[in-house]
Each structure stands twice: as C-alpha cells, then as structure tokens.
Amino acid sequence: MEVLRIKAIDTHHIRHRILRPHGTVEDCIFKGDTDELTFHLGAFVDRKLVSVASFYFERNDIFPDPYQFRLRGMATLPEYQGQGLSSALLRTAFPVIKQNQCTLLWCNAREAAMGFYHKVGFKSHGDVFSIPQIGPHYLMSIQI
C-alpha cells in the first residue's frame, strides 16, 4: 500500500460511488477543492486508488484554535475497508497540517462512521444534526 498526494478530480470516482451514490458527479466537487492549501490524499493498492481523503484550511468558530483544517470526503472502497487505509491517510495528513501551523482537524462525521473516528482519536461535540439527503452527523475533532 502506498499513500500519495492526488488531485481533486482523482477523488471523484470514489466520492461518487461511496459518498454520493444517488448524486451527480457535480455533487462530488466540494467547495475549496482546488484552493491553495487544500490537499488530497489517496491510498493505492497494486497501483489502484482505493481510499481517499481531502483536507481544507477552514476554520470552525466553535473551536478556539485560530488555524484549523477540515477533513472531508473520507472514503474507502468496500472491498478494502478495515485494512487500515483511512488511518494511514490521516497519519500522513497530520504532519502536513502541523506544518501549516494548524492545531486542529475537524469534520462533520456521518453517524455510521463515528466508530472509525473514535478509534483514530477524534472526539465528538454537541448533538446529532442532519445533512439533507445524507443523514445524521456529529461534529468531531482531533487535536494535532
């Protein structure tokens, strides 16, 4: 397995299949995808891209940290889940986030994925909230 930086467009196939199966490809283009500080990571197995995650320089006012990154679009193809790929993407991202003087990574986590986020050290904040067409979410964060 290899973790590499990828382009926003490289994430679209997995985002579409795993995160927005009922949406269009346009729904897989996220605000800030091509911003200067945004970076996208992919895990490759036998040269095939099987897991993606994207990181945006975006502050959430709920947290006091002046400089923060936001995690979005984290997904692993079903046949590769549970093999440590998303954890590997996060481990690769943490030092990059730190290099950018940021101390916190946050995300709106799907309720079904909370077990994953807890395992890798995220904490949840506040009550469940709903994102239309996607479902229940929790705000989660990890100190970097």
Ligand X SMILES: CC(C)(COP(=O)(O)OP(=O)(O)OC[C@H]1O[C@@H](n2cnc3c(N)ncnc32)[C@H](O)[C@@H]1OP(=O)(O)O)[C@@H](O)C(=O)NCCC(=O)NCCS
Look up tokens 């193809």; give the residue: 77
- Residue closer to ligand X, measured from CB, 36 or 46: 46
16-75: contacts with ligand X (CB under 6 A): 18-19, 51, 74-75
Query: Distance (Å, rounded) from C-alpha 144 to C-alpha 138?
Result: 19
Among 84, 92, 94, 96, binds ligand X (CB under 6 A): 84
**CB-count exposure of residue 93 (10 Å: 0-12, 13-18, 19+):** buried
- By CB under 6 A, residue 122 contacts ligand X: no
Amino acid at 62: I
Q: Would you mind telling me the total number of residues written for the chain in this entry? A: 144
Residue number of the CB closest to ligand X reads 115
Question: Quick one: which of 97, 109, 139, 144 contacts ligand X (CB under 6 A)?
Answer: 109
Give me the residue label for tokens 């940290």: 65
Please report, as ranges, the residues that interact with ligand X according to CB under 6 A: 18-19, 51, 74-76, 81-87, 109-110, 112-113, 115-116, 119
